[in-house]
Chains A and B, each alone.
Chain A
Amino acid sequence: MFRWAKGYAYTGKRLFEKTVTIQYPQQKPKIPEGWRGRHYFYPDRCTACDACARVCPTEVITVVSHRDPETKKKILDDYTIEFERCILCGYCEEACPVDAIKMGDVYELASYAREQEFMTQEKMLPPGYSTDVVVHGQGEAYRGGDYRTKPEKKVNH
């Protein structure tokens, strides 16, 4: 008997506890370091090595580049992310050898149209960067799925 009184006592005890929720639109959550939000892209750092496009599980990154005929170096022409299909796994950030792509702290990802979800270099510029560094050129586009073709399936056992 009277076990229910214990339940009431517990409810009463926790009634005046500190809350873990926040009043969201007025109060912004604290974003921990290394959190995976929408990307920031640094066009001045990028060497167009295609590592991010190759490692992307959903193959949403397109790197457009051409080779300089004199120095034989790759030059970035354009960089886009189809953000609708991005799963924010952070592999691109890990793969990048020059830290040209970073997972940012943007978490309000809703938009009114699908076109707005297509991330151009302008949309991914980190705060404090001017649009002067953005490059637009004609080159060869590269996406993750391009290099891999599934070999003919055959029973091997």
Chain B
Amino acid sequence: MALRTEELTFSLGPQHPSTHGVFRAMVTIDGERVVHVDPVIGYLHRGTEKIAEWKTYPQIIPYTDRMDYLSAMLNNYCHVGAVEKLLGLEIPEHAEYIRIIVMELNRIASHLVWWGTFLLDLGAMSPFLYAFKDRQVILDLLEEISGARLTYSYMRIGGVKRDATQEWLRRVDDFMDEMVKNIQGYNNLVTGNEIFQSRVKNVGVYDEAFAKRWGLSGACLRCTGNSYDVRKSDPYSLYPKFDFEIPTRTSGDVWARYIIRIEEMLQSIRIVKQAIRNLPDGPFMGKAPRNIRPPKGEVYFHIESPRGDMGCYIVSDGSDHPYRWHWRAPEFANLAAFPAITEGVNIADMIAILGAIDIVLGGVDR
């Protein structure tokens, strides 16, 4: 005899700790089962794409900092790289190496925030504190080179703002050694834990066809066995020169996404160490025109952000500001699949799935 239950609709957020920002999900449940989730976004919408049409190309860089605020260096690079592609600029190798160092450092910092908050969602408090302690060291390093803690505005069209000192590079190198040990510790603390594993294994499973249909990218796609990573698939910057791997898994569940991100941190450390070892001498700023007026035309430039395939599309009309400036935010596409993944799962699993998508609402809403 089945018990008669009634459907209940409530809203998760917009000010809920497990929604990682101002994200609201209208959840319909039947007992413990999720019947339907309706994401409501736009609370953090600032109209950056429209603002950018009124700004000169260098003036857009500080605005990109404020979109996906956990990986501002990569946002900077995406915009700057698009403009450079449009201009056909030659970037000094030294500048490109420094860019890779700061981008990979930022990727580690972003993954650390994800790691801490994801486990906070699952009810583990102390990993969050360890993650933020390590992240603080990275942010201090980036603060020193760029001048700000989160809103770096470090990239310039043609190079970077300031050069890295030998002392700074040495400290980055030392910290990378420490970070490898810390990640080993994280695995001891969390990854091997049976309770954690039973919370994430076989939860939120989908296959490669589903991931492609929804346009997922980043760890959300690589957990299904597809090894799509822009750094390898459509190489940009000097990534072909570096020796690193793209971690993939085939199970397609939250556990796979977790393992992939942990391994990505180790790969980023590898890249940073290689970049510091092979850093060539040279100028940190190339020959960029004073007034940046790209030729008429359009360009799409995409990079691998910590959350997936991030792209910048610029239509230039030959003036000093873009005619149209569009941003492809990976977390927006990843979040769009959230209702489809969560159909019929438990409420607690829904939180784990949302945490594993790794959303940053600054990037989703733009």
A interface, CB within 8 angstroms of B: 3-4, 6-7, 9-11, 13-14, 20-21, 32, 34-36, 55, 57, 87-91, 94, 103, 148, 150-151, 153, 156-157
Beta-carbon contacts under 8 Å, B305-328 to A:
315, 317, 319, 321, 323
Q: Complex formed: what's the CA distance from A20 to B132 in Å?
A: 10
Q: Complex formed: what's the CA distance from A89 to B66 in Å?
A: 12
Contact segment of B18-26, B53-61, B351-359: B53-61
What's the A-B contact tally at a CB cutoff of 8 Å?
Answer: 74
**Closest Cβ neighbor of B136 among chain A residues:** A20
Output the least CB separation between B276 and chain A (Å).
19
- In the A-B complex, list the 4 residue pairs whose CB atoms are closest, starting with the nearest: A57-B59, A89-B62, A36-B147, A32-B144
**Contacts known (A6-B188, A7-B189); A55 close to B147, Cβ less than 8 A:** no
Beta-carbon contacts under 8 Å, B42-61 to A:
53-55, 58-61
**Closest Cβ neighbor of A154 among chain B residues:** B317
Report A-chain residues with C-beta under 8 Å of the C-beta of B136.
Answer: 20-21
Q: Complex formed: what's the CA distance from A78 to B55 in Å?
A: 25
Query: 4 more A-B contacts (CB under 8 A) besides A32-B143, A57-B62, A103-B147?
Result: A4-B193, A20-B137, A157-B298, A157-B315
Q: Complex formed: what's the CA distance from A153 to B126 in Å?
A: 54
CB-defined A-B contacts under 8 Å, sample of 15: A4-B193, A4-B194, A7-B192, A11-B126, A32-B143, A32-B147, A34-B147, A55-B58, A57-B63, A87-B62, A90-B147, A90-B161, A94-B161, A150-B54, A157-B298
Output the least CB separation between B194 and chain A (Å).
6
Beta-carbon contacts under 8 Å, B152-199 to A:
153, 161-162, 185, 188-190, 192-194
**Contacts known (A55-B58, A91-B58); A11 close to B148, Cβ less than 8 A:** no
A7 pairs with B59, CB closer than 8 A:
no
The one of B54, B58, B193 in contact with A3, judged by C-beta atoms closer than 8 angstroms, is B193
The one of A10, A35, A151, A156 in contact with B147, judged by C-beta atoms closer than 8 angstroms, is A35
**Contacts known (A14-B130, A32-B143); A88 close to B190, Cβ less than 8 A:** no
Report B-chain residues with C-beta under 8 Å of the C-beta of A157.
Answer: 298, 315
**Contacts known (A3-B193, A91-B58); A14 close to B185, Cβ less than 8 A:** yes
Report B-chain residues with C-beta under 8 Å of the C-beta of A103.
Answer: 147
B137 pairs with A6, CB closer than 8 A:
no
